[in-house]
Structure 1
Amino acid sequence: MRSYEAMFILRPSLDEEAVKANVEKFKGIIENNGGEIENVDLWGKRRLAYPISKVNEGYYVLVNFKGNSELPKELTRNFKISDDVIRDMVVKIEN
Structure 2
Amino acid sequence: MPLYEHVLIARQDLSNAQAEGLIEHFGTVLSDNGGKLVDSEYWGVKTMAYKINKNRKGHYAMMRTDAPAPAVQEMERLMRLHDDVMRVLTIKVDAHEEGPSVQMQKRDDRRERR
TM-score range, shorter chain: over 0.9
Structure (1/2) with the larger helix percentage: 2
TM-score, reference length from structure 2: 0.78
TM-score, reference length from structure 1: 0.93
Higher relative contact order at CA 8 Å, sep ≥6: structure 1 or structure 2?
Answer: 1
Note the residue ranges of structure 1 that are not aligned, 5 or more in a row: none
Structure (1/2) with the larger strand percentage: 1
For residues 76-87 of structure 1, the aligned pairs below 5 Å read: 76-87=76-87
The structure with the larger Rg is 2
Runs of 4+ in 1 over 3 A off after TM superposition: none
Return 78-87 or 10-19, whichever deviates more: 10-19
On the 8 A contact 2:6/2:63 being kept in 1, the answer is yes
Note the residue ranges of structure 2 that are not aligned, 5 or more in a row: 96-114
Quote how far apart the aligned CAs of 1:20 are: 2.3
For each residue in 1:15-40, what CA deviation from the matched residue of structure 2 results, as whole angstroms up to 9, or x when unmatched? Answer: 12211221211111111111121110
Letter in 2 for 1:93: V
CA RMSD, 1 decimal: 1.1
The count of corresponding residues between Structure 1 and Structure 2 is: 95
On the 8 A contact 2:27/2:36 being kept in 1, the answer is no
Please name the residue that 2:11 is paired with: 11
Matches of 1:17 and 1:69 in 2, distance apart? 29
Please name the residue that 2:72 is paired with: 72
